[in-house]
Amino acid sequence: MLIALNERKEYVNVAEKKWSKDELKVIRKETVFECPVCKRGVELKIGSIKIPHFSHKKNDLCFIKGEPESEYHLSGKLQLFQWIQKQQVDSVYLEYYLPAIQQRPDIYFEQAEKKVAIEYQCSTIDQKSLLQRSRKLQQLSITVQWVLGAKKVQRTGTNTYRMTPFVWLFTMISKTSQPPKLIVYCPVQKSFIILHHIIPFTSQNVLAISEIVHIDSTNYHSLFRKEVSMQALYANWFKKVSRFRLLPPPFESSEVRYFNSLLYTKKQLPIAYIPTLALLPIKTAYLIQSNSYIWQTYILLYIDSKRASFSFRDITREITRKINERRVKIRYLPHIKNMHFSYTLKEYLSCLCSLGLIRKGKDGEFIKVKDVVWTNDPHQLVESDEWTKQKLLHLSKF
């Protein structure tokens, strides 16, 4: 932590630029510091790697967990604090202790009667504590904005990222019809990295459009409002599809193994030959955890088994059955409210309508227009991928 109390019970912010390291060493000799939360003595650490900070004495347990803090976390927290300080806010505090809930958000500020806490999270904590921390702040009518340390997100290729279930808890949505986004901060680059339009390809691999925003070129309000077009995502998505056809991912889970054998039994096709219609970029696909092509193929197989028409309820029932059989998994995101995987299914069916496989009939019925093409001809698949990409790019303009 960067704040402690001196003997006169004054707050000392060790990160303020007023002192050099030598001056701090003198202050350290002359002052007894205590933790503002538990009132136990703390030590002022002045090393060569980490920025100067306070630390509880070994074996001293504070009410507030979170130590030891890494240099990455300490400097990121400080940069975010100084960033808010430069903005027009009524008041801003670093490590502001809230005794009522025994929490100390990294940064707390008030602006036009709005109370905001920024939590900069660089280490993995369990989902329960994370949600509890948000809930308690909300009880005090404080809006909590989580910013994840950039180290937590792993880039796996151009526009592809690996996101663990923990990272998923930091995603946010601005509109229910849009894919989620994620804002991370890197204190080394002094930049926010925004992942826009996150669409999962497999359960942990996602496509997104990244934008790097230097901390000095944005403010709190515009950062969270930034939007970009989805056009680039479609092109990247279909690059991913061609790689998938050449080199399908290993069968990493029982879901994929089961899927593979079912596909072989029903259509005598390997996984790399699934129709393009089972490889569509669906904006709300994040609500389902299983690889996108798995649940999309299950829907196509269902449509295939119907002679003329089916209803939205039939599809929901079919996927619910797969969920109960553990062939499809839902992504549990308790921080995103009022969303349900049925939105994903609805969006998928609507996409199949746009692509001419089915059309809407009366009373929520869908009517088959064409049969799904299952083929082992690679040229036909490549053509179909390209046609679908062009069609989606065209449709996304409107």
Binding stretches for Zn ion (CB under 5 A): 35, 37-38, 62
Rounded CA-CA distance 230/345 in Å is: 20
Nearer to Zn ion, 46 or 62 (CB): 62
Cβ 197 vs Cβ 230: under 8 Å: yes
**Shortest spacing between CB 79 and Zn ion, in angstroms:** 24
Nearer to Zn ion, 19 or 97 (CB): 97
Nearer to Zn ion, 108 or 293 (CB): 108
**Shortest spacing between CB 33 and Zn ion, in angstroms:** 11
Nearer to Zn ion, 43 or 314 (CB): 43
Q: C-alpha distances in angstroms, 377 versus 38, 280, 326?
A: 69, 19, 31
Nearer to Zn ion, 15 or 116 (CB): 15
**Tokens, residue 341:** 């995987």
**Shortest spacing between CB 34 and Zn ion, in angstroms:** 8
Rounded CA-CA distance 79/85 in Å is: 10
Nearer to Zn ion, 27 or 62 (CB): 62
Rounded CA-CA distance 276/271 in Å is: 12
Cβ 259 vs Cβ 168: under 8 Å: no
Nearer to Zn ion, 66 or 165 (CB): 66
**Shortest spacing between CB 133 and Zn ion, in angstroms:** 17
**Shortest spacing between CB 4 and Zn ion, in angstroms:** 9
Residues 6 or more apart from 254 whose CB is under 8 A from it? Answer: none
Cβ 194 vs Cβ 274: under 8 Å: no
Phi, psi of 254, deg, nearest 5:
-65, -30
**Shortest spacing between CB 217 and Zn ion, in angstroms:** 36
Nearer to Zn ion, 37 or 144 (CB): 37
Long-range contacts of 131-135 (CB under 8 A, 24+ apart): 131/334, 131/335, 133/103, 134/335
What pairing do the DSSP bridges indicate for beta strands 182-186 and 142-149? parallel
Helices (H), 109-227: 127-139, 165-168, 220-225
Q: How many residues does the chain have?
A: 398
* Strand partners of residue 107: 94, 118
**Shortest spacing between CB 38 and Zn ion, in angstroms:** 3
Question: Angle formed by the axes of helices 292-305 and 341-354, to 10°?
Answer: 60
**Shortest spacing between CB 30 and Zn ion, in angstroms:** 22
Nearer to Zn ion, 43 or 365 (CB): 43
Long-range contacts of 216-220 (CB under 8 A, 24+ apart): 216/83, 216/190, 218/192, 219/87, 220/83, 220/84, 220/87, 220/116
**Shortest spacing between CB 395 and Zn ion, in angstroms:** 57
**Tokens, residue 19:** 């002192």
**Shortest spacing between CB 1 and Zn ion, in angstroms:** 8
Nearer to Zn ion, 101 or 323 (CB): 101
